A and B are shown apart, each in its own frame.
Chain A
Amino acid sequence: MSALALFQVVSLFLMAVGFYGIAFRRSFVGMLICVELLLNGAGLGIVAAGQLTEANPVLAQLSTLLVMGLAAAEACLVLAIIIVVAKRWKSVDPSVVSELKG
């Protein structure tokens, strides 16, 4: 296996764990933790692709920085949404918050 493939396997592992957790967790906070795992895997994959191939390394590192910024913005918004949901439904269980269900 080449060096790139090794790093990509780790990145894929993070993705698998993240998706598994999003489907498996039963509170919004747990799902948020798993989304962070997913985004981390994405960042690792991007940097590995930029550093270990002929691609432009500056572009790769800056896009990972962008992903980190997006992750911070997302975590911040989700925190506010979780607080609103917890105030209104008195629970952070996604199966309780199902008013849109027909």
Chain B
Amino acid sequence: MQTSALVLFVIHALIIGVGGIMAVASRSLVRALVGLIMTLFGVSGMYLLLNAPFIALMQLLIYVGAVVILIFFAIMLTKAPAGGEEERPNQVRTYLLALMAGVLPTFVIGWVVLTDQPASINAPLETGLKALGQGLMEPYFLAFELISVVLLVAMSAAVILAFKRRQSR
């Protein structure tokens, strides 16, 4: 990697780090959401560094544009009073168990991934939009259709679930 690329990488990694820690550690859910947005922007910058501008733009469009708004609606609709469930003090046990849940799988996967490194290209080539479109329409057509069906089913199921009246149990 060149020095400038390394500097940009470190800046984006810092943005991701601060955002990620904010997203898990802050008491208020809205602040956690702001942390998530920060992380999403950082990851989008990483995609640009990887020379994948289409994915970077899609990241901004889909995540920041749609998913974050959905989560914000979830926060508002559940009427979480500033902090709400997150305000109660935690036991030490919770911290320990959560730390284990985070560190153990990461350690295993990280060990496997980092000990067996394939040769890395230092300057990734840009894939044209044309190649991506052809990939979507020719070899991976089935996946493309399936993801549209999954999205359609998920959206209509969400509408039906949210509108359903409460049945007497």
**Among the listed A21, A72, A82, A91, which residue makes an inter-chain contact with B62, where contact means beta carbons less than 8 Å apart?**
A72
User: Whole-angstrom distance from the CB of B106 to the nearest CB of chain A?
Assistant: 4
CB-based contact A33/B32 at 8 Å: yes
Does the CB pair B70–A75 fall under 8 Å? yes
In whole angstroms, how far apart are the Cα atoms of A78 and B162 in the complex? 10
A80 touches B50 (CB 8 A): no
- The answer to whether A17 and B102 have CB atoms under 8 Å apart is yes
- Taking CB atoms, residues of chain B closer than 8 Å to A34 are 23-24
Decide: B105 and A27 in contact? CB cutoff 8 A.
no
**Contact residue range for chain A?**
35 or more
Closest to A60 in B: B52
Q: Taking A30-B32, A69-B147, A69-B151 as contacts, is the C-beta distance between A5 and B114 under 8 angstroms?
A: yes
Number of interface residues of B (CB under 8 A): 84
- Judge whether A17 and B23 touch: CB under 8 Å: yes
Q: In the complex the two chains form, is A37's CB within 8 Å of B20's CB?
A: yes
Residue of A nearest to B113 (CB): A8
A8 to B33, CA, bound (A): 24
* Residues on A facing B (Cβ under 8 Å): 2-10, 12-30, 32-34, 36-37, 40, 43-44, 47-48, 51-54, 57-59, 61-62, 64-66, 68-84, 86-88, 91-93
Which 8 pairs of residues, A with B, have the shortest CB-CB distance?
Answer: A20-B102, A73-B154, A2-B120, A80-B158, A21-B24, A24-B98, A51-B124, A23-B98
A and B contact pairs by CB, cutoff 8 A, 9 listed: A3-B1, A4-B120, A26-B88, A29-B29, A36-B67, A58-B132, A69-B151, A76-B155, A86-B79
